[in-house]
Amino acid sequence: MNLPIYFDNHATTRIDPRVLQAMMPCLTEAYGNAASRSHSFGWTADHAVENARAQVARLLSATSKDIVFTSGATESNNLAIKGAVEAARADHPELRPHILTQATEHKAVLDVFHWLEKQGCRITILPVARDGRIRLEDLLTAIDDEKPLLVSIMAANNEIGTLQPFDDIGRLCHDRGILFHTDAAQAAGKIPLDVNRSHIDLLSISGHKIYGPKGVGALYVRRRNPRVALAEQMHGGGHERGMRSGTLNVPGIVGLGAACEIAAAEMSQESARLAALRNRLESRLESALDRAHVNGSREHRLPGNLNMTFDHVDGESLMMGLKDVAVSSGSACTSAAIEPSHVLRAIGLTDEAAHSSIRFGLGRFNTEEEIDYVADRLVDVVHKLRELSPEYADIT
């Protein structure tokens, strides 16, 4: 076992050697621009891109023509939500579309909603239950009271791993002619996704969450039943069906495609292995420590996610005591903030409890030996920190 140990796979993942191997020719001899149609370098690059497009589509049970390449899930979310709103306003500039999401979304969705509110949109942000799942009755009431243009609900949460009932959400939206977008950055490659079964119209993914390269992602855009119209957010050469201009990142796209192909082939086996590792870590911590609580749903969650609160222990102090273990106190995009996690607050945790929480993100390259080492180290550090806590002394 080598130190340090990486247990922060929701923030980013190590690139799979097989992915890197697939990318290397595009970084060396096959370095053409995929938009260059007058010579073999361009043809080779274009062929590689279209092959990757098919690989991404297969992971989502989509068709190749539905896939638009982007720089990552954040751009995909922006293109999906802003693009849908602007397309709806194209012929009716006075329109004030209603859009709906829920409180535990990633900032890449919530911040888009708040920006659009300033542009005149009406927004609804629904609360979630204690386990982090949206209440379908709340959603049904909200969409029947005032039909939204678009509903955006993430498939899996990046902090607590909770899976949303996206099949049911998609059915409710489809039956009412409402666009359904899901941020699937954390779900893709870890749980089965079928855009047709789930009636998903727009879906965002990111390469670096599934053992692919950073700086590349994709947006699924439904072309039939219904055909989804989006206004482009980047203007230029009209690449990607006019939705996303810019020279294609061929090595990154090839890496994303390879990562999707590997994930599709190995998902079942890998998910079972990660769930077993997660359960081992959870069991060891709960058996050795009192006042340790799992956050989010135990039934509906990502196989490699464990978010726990350790009462009367400061999360930052705990992470400092685990210098040889990479874990997180929240989202990698917001973990530098002083404010407690908006996700943990949304599921009912106090600020103090939120600050005492740690996210463990297990991944493809983690081992049982690492689980046991981290469990032992964490139990030891928690005991030592609690010895310094007057609040803990008072209750024991």
Which DSSP string do the residues of 15-44 spell out, in sequence order? Answer: PPHHHHHHHHHHHTT----TT--SSHHHHH
CATH architecture under which domain 5-12+267-395 falls: Alpha-Beta Complex (3.90)
Instruction: Say yes or no to pLDDT of 314 above 90.
Output: no
pLDDT digits (tens, 9 = 90+) for 87-98: 999 988 899 999
Instruction: Say yes or no to pLDDT of 334 above 80.
Output: no
Q: Please give the mean pLDDT across all residues of the chain.
A: 95
Question: Average pLDDT for residues 365-377, to the nearest whole number?
Answer: 98
Residue 333: per-residue pLDDT: 55
Question: 95-126 burial, b for 16+ CB within 10 Å, e for fewer?
Answer: eebbbbbbbbbbbbbbebbeebeeeebebbbb
Of the options 3.40.640.10, 1.20.1440.230, 3.40.109.10, 3.20.20.150, the CATH number for the domain spanning 17-262:
3.40.640.10
Instruction: Say yes or no to pLDDT of 80 above 70.
Output: yes
pLDDT digits (tens, 9 = 90+) for 244-255: 999 999 999 999
Q: Where in the sequence of the chain do the CATH 3.90.1150.10 domains occur?
A: 5-12+267-395
CA 322 vs CA 2, 5, 143, 159, 382: distances in Å: 15, 10, 46, 19, 10
Instruction: Say yes or no to pLDDT of 351 above 80.
Output: yes
- Report the amino acid identity of residue 208: H
Residue 319: closest CA among 363, 271, 382, 274: 382
pLDDT digits (tens, 9 = 90+) for 224-268: 999 999 999 999 988 998 899 999 999 999 999 999 999 999 999
Question: Average pLDDT for residues 46-66, to the nearest whole number?
Answer: 98
Q: Where in the sequence of the chain do the CATH 3.40.640.10 domains occur?
A: 17-262
- At residue 90's C-alpha, the angle toward residues 89 and 91, to 5°, is 95
Catalogue the active-site residues: 333
Tokens of 139: 């959603």
Residue 257: closest CA among 12, 81, 21: 21
pLDDT band (50, 70, 90) for residue 336: low
Cα distance between residue 36 and residue 31, in whole Å: 11
pLDDT digits (tens, 9 = 90+) for 128-169: 999 999 999 999 999 999 999 999 999 999 999 999 999 999
Instruction: Say yes or no to pLDDT of 330 above 80.
Output: no
Helices (H), the chain: 17-27, 40-60, 73-89, 107-118, 136-145, 166-175, 250-288, 315-321, 342-346, 351-355, 368-387, 390-395
pLDDT digits (tens, 9 = 90+) for 98-120: 999 999 999 999 999 999 999 99
> 93: burial class by Cβ within 10 Å (0-12, 13-18, 19+)?
exposed
Q: Can you name the residues that pair with 110 across neighbouring β-strands?
A: none
